[in-house]
Amino acid sequence: MKQYDLTRGSVKGHFIRYFVPTLLSNFSVSAFAFVDMFYVGKGVGADGLAVLSLALPFVIVGGVISLLLGIGGCTILGIETGRRNERAGTELFSLCVSLGAIAGVLITAVVMLFLDPIARFSGASEELLPMVKDYLLPLTATQVLYILNQIIGFFVRVDGAPNLVMGATIASNSFNIIFDYVFIFPMGMGVFGASLATGLAPAVGIAVNLLHFRKGHPHTIAFRPSKAMFSWLGRVAKNGFGSCVSELASAFTIFCFNNAMLRLGGDLAVSAYSVVSNLSFVVFSMCNSIGLSAQPLVGVNYGAGKRERVKRSLVTAYAVAVGFGLFLFALFQLFPSQVIGVFAKAGEDALIAIGTHGLRLYSFAFLTMACNLTTIAIFQGLECSRSANLLSICKGVVFMLLGLWTLSSLLGVDGVWLTTPSSELLTFLLCIGLLIYNLRSRLAALPEESAEPVVQGQ
């Protein structure tokens, strides 16, 4: 098994080594949004697309837990690896997996007990209510699989095996793609079938990721629960809080957006928003790959005291983020109707028209989204948790709700579409100020040289 050292060699080379599999892995994760939209749109129609949007805030809860524990734990793991703390990995991994399993079971129990009121709270009309319940049931019943798959993947990636995580994700989502089709079309299971395929798919990812722990394969983490693991709990929560809040805020804002679209544009506007918001989820996942790839480089080199390598890691990450933003903005400005048309049934011209107009407005958010997400990830990698949390809260809650309230009042439906771009722009301006403030103090504290390098396995 090839070994590589994050504190030596080409920074760009190490970044690419992480970025390519992480990008493909995250794109594969978000591919289920494409698959669900495509199959549900073609097999069920506009009502099915509306259901995906109405149910989405409640299925994001598992993502909140996985980010809190996965990002929180792995941020610390990268820094402690740089400091050559050999016991940290096993204790952090054991803590996060244990808490993730407990949280998954609790989420399932709560939703099962209160399925009807939760479905009604989504804002669904009486016509859509049965379909919302059908979609929620399988996904919430399998939350423990989703949470564990995400947490294990985070740790395996930072433990030096990003390619294995990529393979696990591709295998998981290949299962989802195949059985989405089987359940919706040949078996006629509708949105329940789409949800069931998505809910079961993480089991495949877990099985592949566990190959990292097979005998003879180099790894520094293991699942060995102990009392000592709880000593990391506060630090994990502190470092994962920003990502957790960002994901939780995403669920809340989608809920608010759904209600605003229902009030201002009706079910058809919610269907169009479902397509655009799911596309945004794909873009978010791809942009987040940049920060996730930079985190191990920044964290390990910061922990090892390598000031110049931290700087080069930052320059590389931001160059990619700017390029990504420009490319995605141009793509959705030039081909919005073609993108929306992929997910609409033949003859649903009104849905395509609303979605095309909305996507053109919404895509202004993609200009700065990658830089904002990269900044949050870098702050987490440097353990600047206050700045990371502030950015996440402002981006996902303060700026979003302020924009939704003011812009929808002034511009109606167009104001709803422009809320996310306005939030991303304000977050970008805040990022600039916080970067200047944090990097001066953090980098100035690092020595010019460090001790022995840190070796990780791939």
Tell the residue number behind the tokens 């929620």, with chain if given. Answer: 136
Dihedral through CA 62, CA 299, CA 204, CA 118, nearest 10? Answer: 10
Asked whether the predicted pLDDT for residue 257 surpasses 50, the reply is: yes
DSSP designation for 153: H
Q: What is the mean pLDDT of the chain?
A: 86
Mean pLDDT of 113-135: 87
pLDDT band at 423, cuts 50/70/90?
Answer: very high
Contact by Cβ (8 Å): 312, 448: no
What span, in angstroms and rounded, lies between the C-alpha atoms of 382 and 314? 11
Mean pLDDT of 24-53: 77
Contact by Cβ (8 Å): 304, 7: yes
In terms of Cα–Cα distance, which of 129, 70, 134, 140 is closest to 100?
Answer: 70
pLDDT score at 449 = 52
Residues with Cβ within 8 Å of 23's Cβ and at least 6 positions away in sequence, in order, are 286, 289, 293
Q: Express each pLDDT in 155-176 by its tens digit.
A: 998 888 888 988 998 899 889 8
Q: Express each pLDDT in 352-398 by its tens digit.
A: 999 999 999 999 999 999 999 999 988 887 878 889 889 988 988 89
Contact by Cβ (8 Å): 417, 361: yes
Q: How far is CA 257 from CA 117, 340, 361, 405, 419, in A?
A: 20, 19, 15, 10, 9
pTM beyond 0.95, yes or no: no
